[in-house]
Every structure is written in structure tokens, then in C-alpha cells.
């Protein structure tokens, strides 16, 4: 039921309507906080997940023996002598991502072929047996250090499947895998993500046995024990696998999250490599865990560099589309850009990354929301129903936050949020400009420490004095980018539907370029 615009408390027999109005922009700060503190709703992110949500866009580096054999999955019998980048430059690689606005890098420290890009003490199948830096090189070290120099967080991919190791398939290999993990978790500074692949078992070299080894995906790796190791040694890192426990696979390798894509899901009974992709893609509105999705995709058809694919690099426009379908749906975007045989990002890929950055800069150049007057209206039902109990009793203590007036939506501070009163049933936020503005993209962020609260939001625009619905979307979470037909108007209204009052940390309205 639409609320009547006024600055008074109105009441009608069944539903009191409260209208709060403040001005943002120049008057911001002159008003006492009108937003209401709220209790968390449903599962909420851990501090490590909250920090991960801030990254949004980070790079994947598939680099290793396959780069030199022109394959995607090495058999495990490749000689380490093949690993011979001619001009390896970790700074060129990290710089390419940093300049394109990425916030982290994840490196394949070991792919399925078992070749370790660091001098692991667990096997001779490593970079130490290669000609690279005369056997004294360490790709993980060089890239982790270059990433930090460029302000990028660093993470590693360690394939559970190892087609080189003689013990693969036996309990002994699990000890080897954990020892490798320990080396990576302790030797390379703070990691933001540990990436465990779901491809497991099959034929391989296996120390010369050249056999087919199948494993029971549900029991062989004893994942909970491995995850404990990660949590103990890198408490700030999130763990990625099909089922998390920190970040979930999005269910495809196309870089596309579902619409909706809820950050919550229940993974009971599922295992890494054995989970329903469709559910992973969309999440579950009433899921029991906070387990947001990560969208991994390659800039080329393959994950590793193949010169034959140099003319099949994704275009900047395609990358922007993927950004809207991943980051814009509350997930993260993990874009693989594989270094070439020199050990550098190839020119074609560099051009695509630069173009992608330029497009984002253009789309997100001018936020019109801070120059609008903001007002909110809320409808309060006669009898408030109890909100469902949260799995988290309190907002995590380490997260400082304040609720505030509508200005919190445009203050560029993700630690402040706006929320209507606890009794609100439906909330509306209206932006009014003195003269008409033209926009075509909106960005919304929920205040995640209070959970994913909003069921849906409708975007309405004033056309000749009447509001018309332009778009309705469901899941918001970390971020929702909404494209609307290019519109020229003085008023924009958002109508939120949620089982508990919404809590939003940001609202942006981007001027059409
Ligand atoms: C898959 C692997 O099999 C691919 O080679 C690649 O690493 C991709 C990211 O994950 O499961």
C-alpha cells in the first residue's frame, strides 16, 4: 500500500503510515539518526567472508606445465625440464590486474598434473627441478610478493587430484596434500582464499603406474580436517569448494550467477565435487548457511595459455556483461587470464583488461544519488509478526557499524546503513532531483552483518507525475546492479519488500554515459 507523502505520522484504521523525510547531499549530517538498529536476520557472514565480499573482482592465474605442453590437463608424466618461461615477470602480471581494477589474485600452485610452482619438500616434481632461475626459483613467492606490491590480495589453488603422485588414491597421499597445503599456508604471508578444485580421480601417471584411480569424493579427502588446518593457519582466508565452507562454486564455469543468487544455502548431504549445480547457481532464500557464490570463468576458451586461442580472447563488452551477471548479482567475479610461455600476460589479454576497466569507469563514472533529496516512507502493519530467529545472536563484534538516516545510503561508507523502523512492513525510498537527470544503472548493497533481508525491490520512476515500475529484482545481498532503460526524470522510487525491515548500506544511481 503506497504511503502518503507527508512529514507527519498519519494513521488509518488498519495501518499506520509513517513518513520520514530528510534531505541528503548538502544537508547531510544536520539530521539526527533516523534509521533504526536491527537484529540480524538468518545466517550472517563471518569476518573473513565480510572482508572477501569487499573484493568483488579478482584474477585467476592458470600457469604451469600445461602452459608449455599446450594442454589443459597434464597427465602427470611431464618432465619438469619443460617448465621454462623465457621472460617471467610477476610485476607485469600483477600490474595488469591492478591497473584493471582487480583486487586480488589466485594462482594454480599445483594443477591436476601435480607439478608444484614452489619448491615443495613433499615431491621432486617441482619448479626446483626445472630450468627456471636455475632451479632456485619460486613462482608462488614471486607472484605473492608482486601482488602485495600492487595492493592485491593473494590466494592459492591446490588441486586435490594429483596425477603425478605415486600415492594418489591411498591415505598416504592425504598426508602429502596436507603437507603441501601447510607449506603454502605458512610460507607466503596472509592469504585471502584457498581454492580446492572439484575434479577428482581418473587416469594418470601416478609415479609410473599409469593407472586409473577412482576415489570416493565424499570420504577420501576428509575435508573437515583439511579445512580445520586452513582455519588454524590462515584464519582470515575463506575456503572455496563446491560447498565452501567459505565461498561456494556458482555451478558453472561461464562466470554467470543465477538470478536470483542468494548468499544463503544449505549444503547438508553435499560434498565437494558432488553438489547440485542448479542450487549452487541460485542459492536458497531460506538456506541455513551464509555461503556466497564465486563466478569463475576464463578470458579464453581454455584455462591455460594456448597461442592458438589468441584471437578468441573475450571482448571488454563481454567482460562487462559477465561483471553485471556476477558482481551485479551479489557474487564475486574470478576472471582467469593465463600467463603465456614468456611468463607474462599476452598483449591480447592486456587490451581486453584495459578495455574492461575503461568500460566500468565509464558506466560508474557519475553517481547521481548524492545530489538528490532523499525521503523514505514506511508502512507499519497493525500487529508485528516475530522475525525468524537468527543463527547469529549479535552482529560480529569485530564489525563496527552504525545505523543512521538516509544519508547512510550515499555516504560511501559501507559500515553505516539505513533501516526503517523495526515495525515497518514495506519501505519506500524516493530520490528527487531539482531538474531531470538521465540514468540507466542502479547499484544497491545490503548491510551484510545483518543478513540478507530483502526479498525484492521494485524500481519506479516518475513519468508525468505518476510512478511507473521499470524493473523488479529479487536477491540483493552484497550488491545488485540493476539496468533500466535509459530514463530522464526528476523522481526515482525504490519499493522494498522484506520479511524484516531492510538494512541498506549503499544506493547509487549512475548517470547514463
Ligand atoms: C576445473 C579444472 O579441472 C580446470 O582445469 C580449471 O582448473 C578449473 C578452474 O577448474 O575443475
CA distance 319 to 74: 28
What number does the ligand 1 atom closest to the CA of 336 have? 9
Cβ-Cβ contacts under 8 Å for 410 (sequence gap 6 or more): 24, 25, 28, 367, 369, 370, 374, 506, 507, 508
pLDDT at 99 over 90: yes
Q: What 3-state DSSP class applies to 462? A: strand
- What is the rounded average pLDDT of the residues 366-376? 96
Q: Which of 73-77, 129-133, 251-255, 418-422 has the lowest mean pLDDT?
A: 418-422
Which residue's alpha carbon is nearest to atom 10 within ligand 1? 197
- What is the rounded average pLDDT of the residues 15-32? 33
CA distances from 407 to 97, 352, 461 (A): 33, 37, 21
Write down the residue that cell numbers 592458438 correspond to: 308
What is the pLDDT, as a whole number, of residue 504? 96
Q: In this predicted model, what pLDDT tens digit does every residue of 390-416 receive, in sequence order?
A: 444 333 333 344 555 899 999 999 899
Question: Which residues does residue 430 pair with via DSSP β-bridges, in sequence order?
Answer: 375, 493
What is the pLDDT, as a whole number, of residue 382? 60
Mutate to test the pocket of ligand 1, among 197, 202, 204, 252 (most ligand atoms within 8 A of CB): 197
Domain that holds residue 125: 62-363
284 burial class (0-12, 13-18, 19+ CB within 10 angstroms)?
Answer: middle
CA distance 437 to 28: 21
Do 218 and 289 lie in one domain? The reply is: yes
**Residue 5 located in a structural domain:** no
- What is the rounded average pLDDT of the residues 70-88? 98
Mutate to test the pocket of ligand 1, among 60, 253, 298 (most ligand atoms within 8 A of CB): 253
Q: In this predicted model, what pLDDT tens digit does every residue of 439-450 receive, in sequence order?
A: 999 999 999 999
Extract the runs of DSSP E, i.e. beta strands, from 94-237.
Answer: 104-110, 153-158, 193-195, 202-204, 211-213
What is the pLDDT, as a whole number, of residue 18? 39
Given pLDDT bands bounded at 50, 70 and 90, which one contains residue 378?
Answer: confident
Do 137 and 24 lie in one domain? The reply is: no
pLDDT at 22 over 90: no
Do 36 and 66 lie in one domain? The reply is: no
**Residue 52 located in a structural domain:** no
- The last residue of one of the domains, among 363, 380, 397, is 363
Q: Which H or E run includes 409?
A: none
Cβ-Cβ contacts under 8 Å for 13 (sequence gap 6 or more): none
pLDDT at 293 over 80: yes
pLDDT at 284 over 70: yes
Which residue's alpha carbon is nearest to atom 2 within ligand 1? 199
Residue 355 CA, chain-centre distance (Å), reads: 21
Mutate to test the pocket of ligand 1, among 59, 113, 199 (most ligand atoms within 8 A of CB): 199
Do 379 and 264 lie in one domain? The reply is: no
135 C-beta neighbours (distance < 10 Å), count: 13
Given pLDDT bands bounded at 50, 70 and 90, which one contains residue 420?
Answer: confident
CA distance 244 to 250: 11
Q: What 3-state DSSP class applies to 81? A: helix
Do 38 and 121 lie in one domain? The reply is: no
Q: Is 365 left (phi over 0), alpha (psi -120 to 50) or beta?
A: alpha
CA distance 82 to 68: 6
- What is the rounded average pLDDT of the residues 225-247? 97
- What is the rounded average pLDDT of the residues 8-23? 33
Given pLDDT bands bounded at 50, 70 and 90, which one contains residue 433?
Answer: very high
Mean pLDDT of all residues belonging to the chain: 90
The total number of structural domains in the chain stands at 2
**Residue 458 located in a structural domain:** yes
Q: Which of 221-230, 342-351, 420-429 has the lowest mean pLDDT?
A: 420-429
Extract the runs of DSSP E, i.e. beta strands, from 85-164.
Answer: 104-110, 153-158
Residue 369: all three cell numbers together: 544519488
pLDDT at 319 over 50: yes
- For the chain, give the number of residues: 513
**Residue 303 located in a structural domain:** yes
Q: In this predicted model, what pLDDT tens digit does every residue of 127-175 receive, in sequence order?
A: 999 999 999 999 999 999 999 999 999 999 999 999 999 999 999 999 9
pTM check: above 0.95: no
Q: Which H or E run includes 503?
A: none
* CB of 198 sitting under 6 A from ligand 1: yes
Residue 324 CA to ligand 1 centre (angstroms): 23
Q: Which of 170-174, 196-200, 288-292, 339-343 has the lowest mean pLDDT?
A: 196-200
Do 278 and 296 lie in one domain? The reply is: yes
Do 337 and 389 lie in one domain? The reply is: no
CA distance 126 to 110: 9
**Residue 177 located in a structural domain:** yes
Alpha helices for 383-462 (secondary structure H): none
- Give the residue with greater pLDDT, 12 vs 47: 47
Q: What 3-state DSSP class applies to 59? A: strand
Q: Which of 39-53, 68-82, 299-313, 365-379 has the lowest mean pLDDT?
A: 365-379
What number does the ligand 1 atom closest to the CA of 157 have? 7
**Residue 371 located in a structural domain:** yes
Residue 66 CA to ligand 1 centre (angstroms): 12
Provide the CATH number for the domain around residue 432: 2.60.120.260
Do 349 and 398 lie in one domain? The reply is: no
Do 359 and 371 lie in one domain? The reply is: no
Farthest CA pair distance, the chain: 84
**Residue 12 located in a structural domain:** no
Q: Which H or E run includes 500?
A: none
Determine contact, residues 112/163, Cβ cutoff 8 Å. yes
pLDDT at 482 over 80: yes
Residue 197 CA to ligand 1 centre (angstroms): 7
SS3 content of the chain, % helix, strand, coil (to 5): 25, 25, 50
What is the pLDDT, as a whole number, of residue 358? 98
Pairing mode of beta strands 104-110, 466-473: unpaired
Pairing mode of beta strands 480-497, 426-446: antiparallel
What number does the ligand 1 atom closest to the CA of 304 have? 5
- What is the rounded average pLDDT of the residues 291-314? 98
pLDDT at 23 over 70: no
Do 171 and 90 lie in one domain? The reply is: yes
- What is the rounded average pLDDT of the residues 120-126? 98
What is the pLDDT, as a whole number, of residue 35? 54
Write down the residue that cell numbers 512529514 correspond to: 7
Determine contact, residues 314/355, Cβ cutoff 8 Å. no
Apex CA 135: angle with CA 132 and CA 141, to 5°?
Answer: 75
What is the pLDDT, as a whole number, of residue 386? 46
* CB of 381 sitting under 6 A from ligand 1: no
Provide the CATH number for the domain around residue 66: 3.20.20.80
**Residue 226 located in a structural domain:** yes
Do 336 and 382 lie in one domain? The reply is: no
Do 166 and 301 lie in one domain? The reply is: yes
Residue 199 CA to ligand 1 centre (angstroms): 7
CA distances from 447 to 166, 193, 265, 285, 441 (A): 49, 22, 19, 17, 20
Amino acid at each position: 500500500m503506497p504511503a502518503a507523502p507527508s512529514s507527519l505520522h498519519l494513521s488509518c484504521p488498519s495501518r499506520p503510515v509513517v513518513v520520514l523525510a530528510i534531505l541528503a547531499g548538502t544537508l547531510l549530517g544536520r539530521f539526527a539518526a533516523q534509521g533504526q538498529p536491527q537484529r540480524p536476520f538468518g545466517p550472517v557472514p563471518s569476518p573473513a567472508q565480510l572482508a572477501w565480499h569487499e573484493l568483488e573482482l579478482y584474477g585467476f592465474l592458470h600457469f604451469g606445465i600445461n602452459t608449455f605442453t599446450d594442454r589443459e590437463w597434464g597427465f602427470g608424466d611431464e618432465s619438469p625440464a619443460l617448465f621454462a618461461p623465457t621472460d617471467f615477470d610477476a610485476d607485469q602480471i600483477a600490474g595488469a590486474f591492478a591497473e584493471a581494477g582487480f583486487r586480488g589474485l589466485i594462482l594454480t600452485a599445483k594443477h591436476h598434473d601435480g607439478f608444484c610452482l614452489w619448491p615443495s619438500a613433499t615431491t621432486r616434481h617441482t619448479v626446483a627441478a626445472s630450468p627456471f632461475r636455475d632451479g632456485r626459483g619460486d613462482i608462488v613467492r614471486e607472484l605473492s610478493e608482486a601482488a602485495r606490491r600492487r595492493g592485491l590480495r593473494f590466494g592459492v589453488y591446490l588441486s586435490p587430484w594429483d596425477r603425478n603422485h605415486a600415492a594418489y588414491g591411498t591415505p598416504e597421499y592425504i598426508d602429502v596434500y596436507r603437507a603441501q597445503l601447510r607449506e603454502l599456508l605458512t610460507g607466503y604471508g596472509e592469504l585471502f582464499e584457498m581454492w580446492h578444485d572439484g575434479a577428482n580421480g581418473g587416469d594418470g601417471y601416478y609415479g609410473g603406474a599409469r593407472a586409473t584411480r577412482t576415489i570416493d569424493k565424499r570420504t577420501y579427502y576428509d575435508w573437515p580436517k583439511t579445512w580445520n588446518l586452513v582455519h588454524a593457519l590462515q584464519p582470515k582466508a575463506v575456503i572455496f569448494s563446491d560447498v565452501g565452507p567459505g565461498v561456494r562454486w556458482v555451478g558453472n564455469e561461464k562466470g554467470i550467477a543465477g538470478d536470483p543468487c542468494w548468499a544463503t544455502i544449505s549444503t547438508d548431504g553435499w560434498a565437494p565435487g558432488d553438489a547440485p549445480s542448479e542450487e549452487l547457481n541460485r542459492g536458497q532464500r531460506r538456506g541455513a548457511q551464509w555461503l556466497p557464490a564465486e563466478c569463475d570463468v576464463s578470458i579464453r576458451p581454455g584455462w591455460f595459455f594456448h597461442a592458438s586461442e589468441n584471437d578468441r580472447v573475450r571482448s571488454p563488452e563481454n567482460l562487462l556483461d559477465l561483471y553485471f551477471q556476477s558482481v551485479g548479482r551479489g557474487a564475486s567475479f574470478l576472471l582467469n587470464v593465463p600467463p603465456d610461455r614468456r611468463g607474462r600476460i599476452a598483449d591480447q589479454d592486456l587490451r581486453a583488461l584495459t578495455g574492461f576497466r575503461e568500460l566500468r569507469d565509464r558506466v560508474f563514472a557519475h553517481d547521481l544519488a548524492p545530489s538528490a533529496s532523499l525521503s523514505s516512507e514506511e508502512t507499519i502493519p497493525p500487529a508485528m509478526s516475530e522475525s525468524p530467529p537468527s543463527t547469529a545472536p549479535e552482529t560480529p563484534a569485530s564489525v563496527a557499524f552504525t545505523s543512521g538516516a538516509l544519508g547512510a545510503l550515499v555516504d560511501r561508507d559501507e559500515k553505516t546503513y539505513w533501516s526503517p523502523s523495526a515495525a515497518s512492513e514495506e519501505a519506500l525510498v524516493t530520490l528527487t532531483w531539482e531538474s531531470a537527470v538521465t540514468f540507466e544503472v542502479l547499484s544497491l548493497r545490503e548491510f551484510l552483518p545483518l543478513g540478507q533481508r530483502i526479498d525484492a525491490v521494485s524500481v519506479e520512476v516518475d513519468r508525468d507525475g505518476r510512478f511507473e515500475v521499470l524493473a523488479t529484482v529479487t536477491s540483493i545481498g552484497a550488491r545488485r546492479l540493476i539496468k533500466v532503460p535509459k530514463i530522464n526524470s526528476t523522481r526515482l522510487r525504490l519499493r522494498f519488500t522484506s520479511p524484516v525491515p531492510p538494512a541498506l548500506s549503499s544506493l547509487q544511481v549512475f548517470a547514463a554515459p
